[in-house]
């Protein structure tokens, strides 16, 4: 139990250093949920980093394959490798969840290369296979949750985070959007807002325990509204709210346990 606690603390440190907003969201969740939240979000940081830590595509592929092998061990019931993140993951993942996360790793292969998305459908699949799969896995590890409703929240969340990453992606020579015109960006944000608001009305289909998986989505409404009103904020990297507004809105979400 001591080793597991040490591993979870290690995962918490990874999240705190690598994803400050998600760390805040996890710390607003019930303490009992953190043994699930920290390992899964730490895993996501490690997998998402893998394609970017080297310019050598073969090495990046090998790093992603390492995670595929780890998930295969969990999925097949083999002894999982000893690792700061994999060890606590193995304690909370079902074989089915491990297989689903393998798909998340495969989707991250897009990050290795500079090819644009083939079409709008490919872009949407990428968002769903990464963020959608992650949040469904987290929610289901915490309790009962309708995956279709979770994926609607996840679409909005994935899009917000993608918008925030666009300036750096473009600096890296990537083409992050199929249609980067201002109106197309505003329309995409508007669609995400509509889908998120519909999901809010259905969040009764997500158990109270599982809603902690979605606390990380707490800023999405405000940020998507910013994009609808001024899509150029995506290109210039000015999306964001004040620290006071950020903390106040997260406090509201955690107290009400509703998004």
Find residue 206's DSSP bridge partners: 145
- C-alpha to C-alpha distance for 196 and 151, rounded to whole angstroms: 9
- 183 in Cβ contact with 222 (< 8 Å): no
What is this structure's pTM? 0.96
So where are the chain's domains?
Answer: 1-94, 114-259
**pLDDT tens-digit profile of 53-100?**
998 999 999 999 999 999 999 999 999 999 999 999 999 999 999 999
Confidence of residue 2 (pLDDT cuts 50, 70, 90): very low
What's the CA angle centered on 175, arms 47 and 46, to 5 degrees? 10
Residue pair 154/192 in contact (Cβ under 8 Å)? The answer is no
Percentage, residues of the chain above pLDDT 70: 98
Q: How many CB atoms within 10 Å of residue 117? A: 17
Task: Measure the CA–CA gap between 166 and 185, rounded to whole angstroms.
Answer: 12
Mean pLDDT within 131-138: 98
Q: Which residues pair with 248 in a beta bridge?
A: none
Confidence (pLDDT) at 164: 98
């Amino acid at each position: 139990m001591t080793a597991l606690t040490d591993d979870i603390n290690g995962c918490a440190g990874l999240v705190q250093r690598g994803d400050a907003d998600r760390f805040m969201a996890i710390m607003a969740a019930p303490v009992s949920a953190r043994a699930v939240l920290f390992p899964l979000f730490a895993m996501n940081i490690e997998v998402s980093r893998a394609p970017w830590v080297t310019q050598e595509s073969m090495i990046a592929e090998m790093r992603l394959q390492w995670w595929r092998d780890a998930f295969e061990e969990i999925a097949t019931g083999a002894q999982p490798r000893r690792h700061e993140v994999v060890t606590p993951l193995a304690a909370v993942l079902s074989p089915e969840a491990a297989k689903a996360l393998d798909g998340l790793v495969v989707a991250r292969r897009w990050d290795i290369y500079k090819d644009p998305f083939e079409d709008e459908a490919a872009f949407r699949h990428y968002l769903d296979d990464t963020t959608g799969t992650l949040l469904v896995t987290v929610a289901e590890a915490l309790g009962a949750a309708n995956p279709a409703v979770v994926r609607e929240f996840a679409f909005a969340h994935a899009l917000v985070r993608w918008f925030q990453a666009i300036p750096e992606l473009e600096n890296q020579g990537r083409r992050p959007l199929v249609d980067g015109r201002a109106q197309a960006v505003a329309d995409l944000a508007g669609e995400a807002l509509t889908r998120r608001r519909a999901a809010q009305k259905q969040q009764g289909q997500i158990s109270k325990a599982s809603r902690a998986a979605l606390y990380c989505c707490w800023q999405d409404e405000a940020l998507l509204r910013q994009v609808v009103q001024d899509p150029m904020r995506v290109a210039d990297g000015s999306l964001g709210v004040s620290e006071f507004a950020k903390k106040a809105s997260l406090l509201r979400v955690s107290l009400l346990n509703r998004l």
